[in-house]
């Protein structure tokens, strides 16, 4: 059986696990190509203009898989531990995928509600009827779910920026390349939440306890951790993302209170690379002027 995985959204955290799991079941795994303009334009024709860019990108990858595979594997994360929910659009894209794929392409979409094991085992039986093989495939693939266990080390004197954004933004070159390359070309070490241990990302102290979206809590906790360790904070969020816009405002206020240089970039399918680079370079200039002033004081 040919089983497709869209290289978008949750793929950038769980993709390697899914690939190994499905291969262990005997499936021929087909992963879509990296995001490009053609895929984005495909996605625009299948979803509302009001949804965020990551959902539009995912729709484009789904459209690209239609007719090429026997089934598409697209788990739906409803909530994880502590009843932290995914955003409604992330939950609802699975229903849109079912309509997009029609009757000729099977959709395998286990719903994850706190437990990752049981839904995957049930989904695995739709590919391989052998429960022993399904359990072994899951156990073999589970190593791909590991988080960092220790905190990052920082070298004295290095220039650092905290890039606060979701893994599915920073992992997608189409979205992140101009941002990452601009900071790197100016000699900055880019600090992201993906290098932090789960104990920090899921921390419930302070305002974090009030955040009931799983990935937004990670963003906020990463911001709090890096705030006093970097020369500035850059938040990258998608136009139309309600949870991000709310949490980003709290981060902006907190950064202002601590006199931390703060840049908020809002992206969609119309965002031009030149505009991003110009804003980042202005932010870098501000951060370096501040750092020079503090050193001279």
> Over the stretch 102-118, which tens digit does the pLDDT of each residue have?
988 999 999 999 989 99
User: Taking 80 as the threshold, does the pLDDT of residue 296 lie above it?
Assistant: no
Model pTM score: 0.94
- Mean pLDDT over each residue of the chain, to the nearest integer: 94
User: Taking 70 as the threshold, does the pLDDT of residue 265 lie above it?
Assistant: yes
Please state which CATH class domain 159-296 belongs to: alpha beta
Please state which CATH class domain 2-145 belongs to: alpha beta
Q: Is the dihedral of CA 81, 163, 167, 267 positive or negative?
A: positive
Which residues, other chains included, contact 9 with Cβ-Cβ below 8 Å and sequence gap of 6+? 54, 55, 57, 58, 90, 93, 168
d(CA 65, CA 100): 10
Angle at 173 between CA 172 and CA 179, to 5 degrees: 105
Mean pLDDT value across residues 50-76: 96
> Over the stretch 165-213, which tens digit does the pLDDT of each residue have?
999 999 999 999 999 999 999 999 999 999 999 999 999 999 999 999 9
2-145 shares its CATH topology with 159-296: yes
Mean pLDDT value across residues 251-267: 96
Give the per-residue pLDDT at 297. Answer: 65
Residue ranges covered by each domain of the chain? 2-145, 159-296
Confidence of residue 76 (pLDDT cuts 50, 70, 90): very high
């Amino acid at each position: 059986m040919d089983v497709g995985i869209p290289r978008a959204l949750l793929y950038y955290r769980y993709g390697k696990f899914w690939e190994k799991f499905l291969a262990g079941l005997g499936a021929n795994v087909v992963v879509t190509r990296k995001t490009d303009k053609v895929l984005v334009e495909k996605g625009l024709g299948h979803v509302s203009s009001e949804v965020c860019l990551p959902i539009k990108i995912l729709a484009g990858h789904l459209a690209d898989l239609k007719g090429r595979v026997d089934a598409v594997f697209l788990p739906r994360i409803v909530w994880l531990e502590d009843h932290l929910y995914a955003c409604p659009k992330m939950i609802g894209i699975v229903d849109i995928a079912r309509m997009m794929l029609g009757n000729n392409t099977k959709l395998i979409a286990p719903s994850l509600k706190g437990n990752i094991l049981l839904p995957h085992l049930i989904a695995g039986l739709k590919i391989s009827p052998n429960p022993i093989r399904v359990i072994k495939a899951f156990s073999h693939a589970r190593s791909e779910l590991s988080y960092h266990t220790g905190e990052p080390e920082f070298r004295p004197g290095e220039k650092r920026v905290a890039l606060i954004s979701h893994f599915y933004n920073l992992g997608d070159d189409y979205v992140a390349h101009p941002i990452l390359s601009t900071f790197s070309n100016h000699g900055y070490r880019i600090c992201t939440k993906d290098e932090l241990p789960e104990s920090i990302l899921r921390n419930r102290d302070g305002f974090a306890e009030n955040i009931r979206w799983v990935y937004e809590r990670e963003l906020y906790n990463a911001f709090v951790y890096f705030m006093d360790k970097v020369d500035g904070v850059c938040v990258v969020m998608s136009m139309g993302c309600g949870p991000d816009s709310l949490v980003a405002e709290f981060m902006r206020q907190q950064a202002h209170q601590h006199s931390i240089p703060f840049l908020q970039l809002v992206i969609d399918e119309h965002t031009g690379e030149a505009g991003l680079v110009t804003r980042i370079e202005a932010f870098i200039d501000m951060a370096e002027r501040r750092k020079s002033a503090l050193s001279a004081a």
